[in-house]
């Protein structure tokens, strides 16, 4: 359902071009948890950010559910982005807003639901991630794992079909990492959500990914099921 066709990305820095992604073909099936692993600078974030059009490809096309997302006008792009949630290593919560208001933010921006509908949706999301009792707290009052649960609730608020995770557990201790991975696993199955995640930890790949792509210096150097790529003799 996510298809990269000969996608190439170069950044212009000063007068120079830096290739972040060599021309690459990639298919991520619907409902999978797809991992991207590789060293810093390999091109993982670039690839991820191409999926929600935070970056535009220099050439090539990207299809999501057969729609070419490189050719969307502003209104179509807004609608498309509501279908793609994202969570981050450092959570990116607004510190001056309560947990409930952080989760409500994308719904308010979308401007499609009434206040009472937003309140009900936020309540449902906080219940799903186990934070009902923390709705009126501020991010600074929460643990790292709780903050990432807020991030997940916010990312799911607009009912996306894709969730992008940029090193979402890298700032968490091993036990909390396990809990967040379990939550991602559960919502993947409950919502038939396609999850694309970046990590530098093999363990994260082994624990929840169906498929993995190994990146190095702007190339996908290996790709396949986790058992094919990592567990064969």
Minimal distance, residue 196 CB to ligand ADP, in Å: 13
43 binds ligand ADP (CB under 6 A): yes
- Whether the CB-CB separation of 4 and 26 falls below 8 Å is answered with yes
- Which x/- pattern, by CB under 6 A, does the window 5-34 give for ligand ADP? ------x-x----x-x--------------
**Sheet containing 16-28: which strands, arranged edge to edge?**
16-28, 2-13, 59-64, 67-68
42 binds ligand ADP (CB under 6 A): yes
Instruction: Report helix, strand or coil for 131.
Output: coil
Task: From residue 151, give the alpha-carbon distance in Å to each of 17, 131, 142.
Answer: 34, 11, 12
Pick from 14, 40, 74, 174 the residue near ligand ADP by CB under 6 A: 40
- Show contacts with ligand ADP in window 98-127 (CB under 6 A): 100-101, 104, 115, 118-119, 122-123
Structure tokens at 227: 């058992």
Which stretches of the chain are DSSP H helices?
A: 44-51, 74-82, 99-110, 115-128, 144-156, 174-191, 202-208, 226
Pick from 35, 38, 106, 151 the residue near ligand ADP by CB under 6 A: 38
CA–centroid distance for 148 within its chain? 12
| Binding segment (CB under 6 A) for ligand ADP, from list 64-72, 96-104, 141-149, 188-196 | 96-104
144 binds ligand ADP (CB under 6 A): no
Nearest CA to 213 out of 56, 47, 19 is that of 47
| Binding segment (CB under 6 A) for ligand ADP, from list 23-31, 41-49, 149-157, 203-211 | 41-49
What are the residues binding ligand ADP (CB under 6 A)?
11, 13, 18, 20, 38, 40-46, 100-101, 104, 115, 118-119, 122-123, 135
């Amino acid at each position: 359902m996510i298809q990269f066709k000969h996608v190439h990305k170069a950044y212009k820095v000063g007068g120079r071009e830096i290739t972040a992604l060599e021309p690459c073909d990639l298919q991520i099936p619907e409902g999978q948890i797809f991992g991207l692993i590789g060293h810093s600078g390999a091109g993982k974030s670039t690839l991820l950010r191409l999926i929600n059009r935070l970056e535009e490809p220099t050439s090539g096309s990207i299809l999501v559910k057969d729609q070419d997302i490189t050719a969307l006008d502003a209104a179509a792009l807004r609608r498309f982005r509501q279908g793609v949630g994202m969570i981050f290593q450092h959570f990116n919560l607004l510190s001056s807003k309560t947990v409930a208001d952080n989760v409500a933010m994308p719904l308010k921006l979308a401007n499609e639901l009434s206040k009472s509908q937003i309140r009900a949706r936020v309540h449902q999301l906080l219940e799903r991630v186990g934070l009902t009792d923390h709705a009126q707290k501020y991010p600074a009052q929460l643990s790292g794992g709780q903050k990432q649960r807020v991030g997940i609730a916010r990312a799911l608020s607009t009912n996306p079909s894709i969730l992008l995770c940029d090193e979402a557990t890298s700032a968490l201790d091993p036990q909390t990492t396990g809990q967040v991975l379990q939550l991602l696993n559960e919502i993947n199955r409950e919502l038939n959500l396609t999850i694309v995640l970046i990590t530098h930890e093999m363990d994260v790949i082994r624990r929840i990914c169906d498929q993995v792509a190994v990146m190095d210096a702007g190339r996908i150097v290996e790709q396949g099921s986790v058992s094919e790529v990592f567990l064969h003799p």
